[in-house]
Amino acid sequence: MRTGALPVPIARRRRRRPGAVLAAALAAVLAAVGVVGSVTAASAADTLLSLNRPALASSVQGVDLAASNAFDGDPGSRWGSVWADPQWVRVDLGGSASVSRVVLRWEGAFARSFQVQTSDDGTTWTSIYSTTSGVGGVQTLDVSGTGRYVRMYGTVRSSGYGYSLYEFEVYGTLGGGGPTPTPTPTPTPGACGTTNAAQGRPATASSAESAGMAASAAVDGNTGTRWSSQFADPQWLRVDLGQTRTICQVVLAWEGAYGRAFQIQTSNDGNTWTSIYSTTTGAGGTQTLNVTGSGRYVRMYGTARGTGYGYSLWEFRVFTTGGGGDPVEPTDPRNPNFGPNTFVFDPSTPTSTIQSRLDTIFTGQETNQFGPQRYAVLFKPGNYTADVNLGFFTQVAGLGFSPDDVNLNGHVRVEADWFGGNATQNFWRAAENLSVTLPSNVQVERWAVSQAAPYRRMHLRGSQNQIQLWNGGDGWSSGGLMADTKIDGLVVSGSQQQWFSRNSEFGAWTGSVWNMVFTGVTGAPPPHFPNPSHTVINQTPVVREKPFLYVDGTGEYRVFVPGLRTNSQGTSWYGKTPVGTSISLSQFFIVRPGTAAATVNAALAQGKNLLFTPGVHRVDQTIQINRADTVVLGLGLATLQPQGGVVPMKVADVGGVKVAGIMFEADQVNSPMLMEVGPPGSSADNSANPISLHDVFFRIGGPGIGRATTTLTINSDDVIGDHLWLWRADHGAGVGWTVNTADTGLIVNGDDVTMYGLFVEHYQKYQTIWNGNRGRTYFYQNEMPYDPPNQAAWMNGSSRGYAAYKVADTVDTHQAWGLGSYCVFTSDASIVADRAFEVPNRPGVRFTNMVTVSLGGVGTINRIINDTGPTANSTTPTVYLTNYP
């Protein structure tokens, strides 16, 4: 049975406004006979400067009416504004230019009064044309001016609609005294390149069998996803290369449903097509076609199917001559393209539409802990009624500046019904930047989670209410995070085994099992370890909250980067204005699955920040973060997977880099590490502006074989870790002692590194190695590897096993609070770990409140720290130590 995946919303059809068709037709007739506004001959030296240049507008009426449409050379696409005055649309020519002519090709909704303006900086504008009697149609305006930016600034509309332009053409010559722009690369003859120019580019198709088989699946670099058409002829799939390229080879990786007769065609405008290959005897499989042609668009045009199904391609690859990487797309901050797996709602969206989408996602994700699907559901400021039940790899977030800007009347919850009430595998999901008002007569919210499931920057309203951190009496849960969160009522931990709370405000807290740690929390329980096992630090010494996406009062998407806080308590936002910096989304490059890593690095080299959209991003070269203060933000637990053993991300030794909401997943070819922060030997003083990692997770094995020698290495000083989970998989596919191999989770070589909420599990040697001085950890959770086949296979010299947390003998100062390490040796219960924590005996090395557990009595941890502390085994499975030394 041929099935699709999760459906996506069907775009509402836009009805043409009354008179729009007639106006467009009339404009075309007038243009054909030469009757257009202010037509004069232009200089032969004029060059069209605006085609495919970055564009921005004051507003857009809808997602299909973006500013870029007015500069794409396509007479069938248009920019359309909201229905208000004034409005503008502008183009960035890339450098200063002498502008001699402007052509405005209006849709039916034109400007009665407007100006054409130029600017050198995009802020100060000079008018080079003005009218109060615009007539629409096609207006060709002879002008004289200079500037890098050119805009149409409309002050009076001709109708009750907005302003709408099919095309806005700017002619002139570059080099008007400013910087020379980077020209659009021109293909040059040469050997056929080896970079797939189609990967990650926008793709469209005549049809799709289902939403899970969209056109984009054929250009995402993933041979496990595919485009599939409806069961009819003809059908086509096309890709936009972003610019005219010389095409030398096309590779079609067919699924079983292939094309018997088809053509490969190219086009410069997406309308007129030239065939560069044709066959009536296609045999399917993988077809490598050497071709000669050029164009911005390339398509497979199928006329006869090879089966009774449609046309189906795992991958559609295009190779070009002359080199030149993919262009870095500009981001429209009012109409960003977050890809097909991000859903943005506003208060006008019908409640039934929102709930249907949430329910559909949850149905697909409730048990899908190892699938590639990723989703983000975002709510613009306002009030909603919704029951948000979060499954795997789903993020729900508000787009307000404060959590209270978005209120959900209903629930934002996690249950463990799929696992019989056991929440110990409820990983990889997130709730952020929302307030929740429970339904009337309901007083319980449930957040039954374990690792990698942050409840961050949230507000659960109602002092009479409570949030339960387990499934409410019929199961267990094992580790989670609350940060920058306000709970008006009671937090009930129940059977939750360990939990970390930071900079939050609780009405009250009740419950403990093994290890509950609070830093900077008002309403925390009194410190009392081990019974109950509450470790309480009143103030958080130094922290930066996670950056977040929001929409400002003008409708522009921005990212807020919170400032550094020292000796803090409570949230950053409730009853106060957060300190930090706001960055327009125009300063971000949006990375969608399939985008080449070379393009990502090109964007970084241009000074862009990065926003990764939901999905699995396959990385064939290291993404290198070199600029200070760069922000890397992921939506929907966006996942980076290395190809061919590369290190997927490295951060230079520069201050202020923030990496947030990203997951790294090892591939079957071993990577030496999955992330490196600072090169070896880093020594920059970043104390005033630390590098910070927020909700950064790592996985080795689970969906299949994964291998990495080390997971995360931190060489820089002054790094802040804000909720990290490093996991060598203990279940799923590709799991075994000799299968998903990984020596060490975390190695810290930098000084003055601080970790809040550190989870490291199942590695085959030391879980964590700390070589830097003056390190601090607030909450540590660990499970030793489940799967050593016997004691001989797990020896560290003469020591039995490896400690969970190793502080190097050269370290003078190190502190840690609230640490737990557990064992369950499933292959051989006689295996012994000599100790959980191994540290030098120095006055500056101090560990506070530790617990070790033999889970089910299967295996032994002989001592808690060095040679101190009782034994955890089948006789006494849980043991504690309050201080060392």
Helices (H), 836-877: none
Contact 824, 852 (CB under 8 A): no
In order, the DSSP letters of 688-739 are: TS--EEEEEEEEESBBS---BSEEEEE-SSS-EEEEEEEEE-SSSBS-STTT
| Sign of the alpha-carbon dihedral angle for 553, 111, 138, 75 | positive
- The helix/strand/coil state of 652 is coil
Which among 305, 265, 266 has a CA at the least distance from the CA of 282?
305
Which among 329, 264, 325 has a CA at the least distance from the CA of 297?
264
The number of beta carbons lying within 10 Å of the beta carbon of residue 449 is 32
Strands 286-305 and 235-254, sheet pairing: antiparallel
Active site residue 783: yes
Beta strand segments in 440-497, E: 444-446, 454-456, 459-460, 466-468, 481-483, 486-492
**CA–CA gap between residue 687 and residue 581 (Å, rounded):** 18
**CA–CA gap between residue 248 and residue 240 (Å, rounded):** 16
- The helix/strand/coil state of 243 is strand
Contact 93, 53 (CB under 8 A): yes
The number of beta carbons lying within 10 Å of the beta carbon of residue 526 is 7
Residue 140's Cα: distance from chain center in Å? 43
Contact 695, 657 (CB under 8 A): no
**CA distance readout (Å), 623 to 396, 517, 641:** 27, 35, 11
Eight-state DSSP code of residue 414: B
Strands 274-279 and 235-254, sheet pairing: unpaired
Q: Which two tokens stand for residue 26?
A: 């009339």
Which among 247, 257, 156, 270 has a CA at the least distance from the CA of 198?
247
The helix or strand, by DSSP H or E, that contains position 799, with its residue range, turns out to be strand 799-800
Eight-state DSSP code of residue 70: G
In order, the DSSP letters of 539-597 are: SEEEEEPPPEEEE-TTS-EEEEEEPEEEEE-S-SSTTSPPPEEEEEGGGEEEE-TT--H
Q: Which two tokens stand for residue 632?
A: 């890397």
Those residues with Cβ within 8 angstroms of residue 461's Cβ, 6 or more apart along the chain or in another chain? 407, 435, 436, 437, 438, 488
Query: Which of 167, 445, 505, 783 is labelled catalytic?
Result: 783
Task: Tell me the three-class secondary structure of 753-792, residue by residue.
Answer: CEEEEEEEECCCCCCEEECCCCEEEEEEEEECCCCCCCHH
Would you please indicate which residues are annotated as catalytic (active-site) residues?
Answer: 783
